[in-house]
A and B are shown apart, each in its own frame.
Chain A
Amino acid sequence: MSAMECSNMTKETLDRMFTEGKRFDGRGLLDYRPIEISFDVSNKAEGSARVKIGKTEVIVGVKMVVGEPYPDSPDKGNLTVSGDLLPMASPRFESGPPKFNAIELPRLVDRAIRHSGILDLKELVITSGEKVWIVIIDIYPINDDGNIIDAATIGATAALRKTMIPVLDEKGGIDYHKKSKTPLSIAKDIFPMIITFFKLGDSVLLDPTREEQEACEARIAWGISKWEGQHMINSCQKGEELAFTRSDVESMMDLIPKKFDEVSEKLKKFF
């Protein structure tokens, strides 16, 4: 079953409104709802954050465990992103084995974070070839009112920035009773985000509410960050069944750096 389902009447009404550049909540098509970040969702996590975009709420926690490096990269730690679409967050989410959307969300966040360069996996080595830190980012939406992907990525970046490396005891295990004073080493000037564009008919919009998102016929998620002072696209995935035209993509390329700067500026006050 498609993730996007809504009545034909809602769809027609929204299509007409979007064509006129209007939305139910009065925003412009490319405006985000207010974004709020808070931290320390769980004091058991090595780092955690809560992100709200309008009524959408996602919590993200980072855990770190000691493990073995992959055989093909003995001098690198590992990054894993996982999570689930909890049934508490939406009547659309069901318990049971993960559906496609639940598989896709962490994969999208993983690629945006991994390729931004915010985390240098080489700094996660404890003993070369033997022991490394594995950073595990877990994403749980608490309330889905659309645009979960963008919220989850901001949450993952925010949680990473607050992550402390646990203290190791003499045997090399983690001593959870000692308070860590070592923050996870990340590139502070890199703040990866995902900006997802949604398309209904010929209209393209950002940050849809759940109702708007379900009316849309396609979406494209762009991972973006700044690297050595330049805007860099780090990931991209088109979703759902409508095609994007060349001019759609070209205008997104012009818009994305501006949107990224605008949102980053608004998020500064939380750090």
Chain B
Amino acid sequence: MRKMYAKVGVVPNADGSAMFAFGDTVAIAAVYGPRQLHPQHMQDPGTGILRVNYDLLSFSVYERKKPGPSRRSQEISKVTEWALSPVLDLKEFPNTVIDVQVYILQADAGTRTAGINAASLALAHAGVPMKDLVCSISVGKLDKNLVVDLDKDEEDYDEGEGATDFPIAKIASTNEYTLLQLDGKIQPGVVKEILGLADKACEEIYEVQKKALKEAIEQ
């Protein structure tokens, strides 16, 4: 795995915030809420909602990314919501929204997984009641070799069976997966093996996240 770095409290205005890096991939996340949801007709008296907005900043990639949402960023926003909501008890906060903003400062593959790790930390830092932290990692396959935490060069590998990218998120101390996405060619039997690798990586991520939260309290 690439060197990880995590820090909470990077956006003082937010109720909670964090940064998370896998090597050259750097994500920051900020949480606002639970706060009243507007427009009012979107409010649900039965539950609060989680609303994630993920995007690449325009200078985070080689070819400048045009600002504004794309189909890709809308999809990643949604899968990030799905990855995080199982650890939140949103029914405790009817009529409200928890807004999570995730931005990528520097992209070298694994931006959605870095974003989820940052967002999970930011939610904890905001004091939103959570069952557990969510940890996320991308496991990949280059031709027939399994690798953890792909960077951009590895993602573009196209020999033999090519590159498979398998981003995964799990509820840290359980066997429950909240993000499973995949692109490439992989045999069903290998998927099981990959979950094992993801579990090990997530243990390391969990330690980095816990350390960052502790440091914030000690300050």
Which residues of A does B touch, CB under 8 Å?
100, 103-104, 107, 111, 115, 117, 220, 223, 227, 230-247, 249-250, 253-254, 256-257
- A240 cross-chain contacts in B, Cβ below 8 A: 82
Which residue of the partner chain B has the closest CB to A115?
B184
Residue B85 at the chain A interface, CB threshold 8 Å: yes
Which residue of the partner chain B has the closest CB to A228?
B161
Please state if B185 and A234 are interface contacts (CB–CB under 8 Å): yes
Number of A-B residue pairs at CB separation under 8 A: 92
In whole angstroms, what is the CA distance A101 to B170 when docked? 24
Main secondary structure of the interface of A (DSSP, over half): mixed
Which residue of the partner chain B has the closest CB to A116?
B185
Instruction: Report the minimal beta-carbon distance from A245 to chain B, rounded to whole angstroms.
Output: 5
Instruction: Report the minimal beta-carbon distance from B186 to chain A, rounded to whole angstroms.
Output: 5
Residue B179 at the chain A interface, CB threshold 8 Å: yes
Knowing A100-B78, A107-B75, say if A238 contacts B185 (CB, 8 Å).
no
In whole angstroms, what is the CA distance A253 to B180 when docked? 13
- B67-118 at interface with A (beta carbon < 8 Å): 71, 74-75, 78-79, 82, 85-86
What count of chain B residues pass the 8 Å CB interface test?
30
Residue B187 at the chain A interface, CB threshold 8 Å: yes
In whole angstroms, what is the CA distance A247 to B79 when docked? 21
In whole angstroms, what is the CA distance A234 to B184 when docked? 5
20 further contact pairs, Cβ within 8 A, besides A234-B183, A234-B185: A100-B75, A100-B78, A104-B75, A104-B78, A223-B182, A233-B186, A234-B184, A235-B182, A235-B184, A236-B181, A237-B181, A238-B79, A239-B82, A241-B86, A243-B177, A246-B175, A246-B176, A247-B175, A253-B192, A256-B188
Can you sample 16 A-B contacts with CB below 8 Å? Answer: A115-B185, A232-B185, A236-B166, A236-B180, A238-B180, A239-B79, A240-B82, A243-B86, A243-B170, A244-B180, A245-B175, A245-B176, A245-B177, A249-B191, A253-B188, A253-B192
